[in-house]
Structure 1
Amino acid sequence: MLGDLFWTDKGEEHPMVDTSTDYQVVARDLAWKWFEYHAGQRLAVFRFFLLVIAFISAGYVSSLLAKEHLVSGILALVLLVSTFLFYRLDRRNRALVKISEAYLKDDQAELAQQLGKSGIKLIEISDDEKEYRSLCSFSQINKAIFALVGAFGAVGLIISALKSCW
């Protein structure tokens, strides 16, 4: 157990261990692992979303060409709903990533103060630099893709409905 590393058998603090520093290392490691896990999960979910929309879109186009308007309408609706659900998952994963970023930002500020080097404040630098802000972020790109796919689903639903009426 972690406590066994810091205390003797008698429950006293171990004389060779600086627990404040060691707990800081553990906390930093936990924050980085949290960040890595949820950032990786966010990418994996987005990749799966792209795969799902590729299959649904191929089915939509095939059913539309086969004049199966009910099927194409259902697929367009599935595309629209799937896009909304994946968007919600992405927002949740983004929030979980931001939790660890907030801790790491504070930790990096403290580390920069201890080292006397402000360059270690990586998250703050990436948030503040105009050069980085002018680039599209992962979130901005995701939102644009979700909006485009959602619009495609809505238009596909309308086209299928109109074609089934003709």
Structure 2
Amino acid sequence: MSSELHQSMDHAWRYFELHAQQRIAVFNFYLAISGLVAAGIGVSLQQGGRFSFAATLLGVFLALVSFIFWKLDGRVSLLIKRSEIALAEFEKLSAIEHAALFFKSEDDDLMRPRGIFSVWTYGRCFRLSFALVGGAAVMVSLLPFCMSFPIK
């Protein structure tokens, strides 16, 4: 392998590694924020009365945070895909066919079964988490309004 090719492959690998670590760090930060806000919502709902408005605000905030982190994860996912494509191209140039990780995995992904019991990607798991927490936050933010109108 030439020196330029090796440097380019090393650059693509560092790019992949940086953004893959960043993706996990961002999701961990999201979990910490959403846990703290959910605890605040729980305390506000327990107090009831005048704290119901705080639960609504925290619910709206959590829904907004979920949306922002969903968009951030989408961006990082695109950056990771770029590096995966570059690494797959470098692997095509490699003389060792059986050592290909990125190039072979693309073919394997096309053959993998889809569905709820199949292997899920990080992206699918993260998007589901963002959607569930964001949806729950919207419902919680509406809860104080629903409780203020008694059903007859």
- Scaled by the length of structure 2, the TM-score of the pair is 0.87
CA distance in 1, matches of 2:56, 2:148: 9
**C-alpha distance in 2 between matches for 1:156 and 1:143:** 20
For the Cα contact (< 8 Å) 1:87–1:146, is it kept in 2?
Answer: yes
Q: Identity of paired residues, percent?
A: 29
| Aligned position for 2:79 | 96
Match of 2:146 in 1: 162
Kindly indicate whether structure 1 or structure 2 has the higher relative contact order, using CA contacts under 8 Å at least 6 residues apart. Answer: 2
Which residue matches 2:103?
124
Instruction: Provide runs of 4+ in structure 1 moved above 4 Å.
Output: none
Q: CA deviation at 1:32?
A: 0.5
Amino acid paired to 1:78: F
1:93 and 1:60 mapped to 2: Cα distance? 29
Q: Which 5+ residue runs of structure 2 have no aligned equivalent?
A: none
The answer on 1:149 being equivalent to 2:128 is: no
**TM-score normalized with structure 1 length:** 0.80
Instruction: Count how many residue pairs are aligned between Structure 1 and Structure 2.
Output: 143
Amino acid of the structure 1 residue aligned with 2:146: L
C-alpha RMSD of matched pairs (Å): 1.7
Q: How does 1:11-160 map to 2 (within 5 A)?
A: 21-67=2-48, 68-111=51-94, 115=95, 117-129=96-108, 130=111, 134-160=118-144
Separation (CA, whole Å) in 1 of partners of 2:17 and 2:119: 22
Q: Which has the larger radius of gyration?
A: 1
- Shift of residue 155 of structure 1? 0.7
Report the counterpart of residue 3 of structure 1 in structure 2: none
Deviation at 1:165, TM superposition (A): 4.8
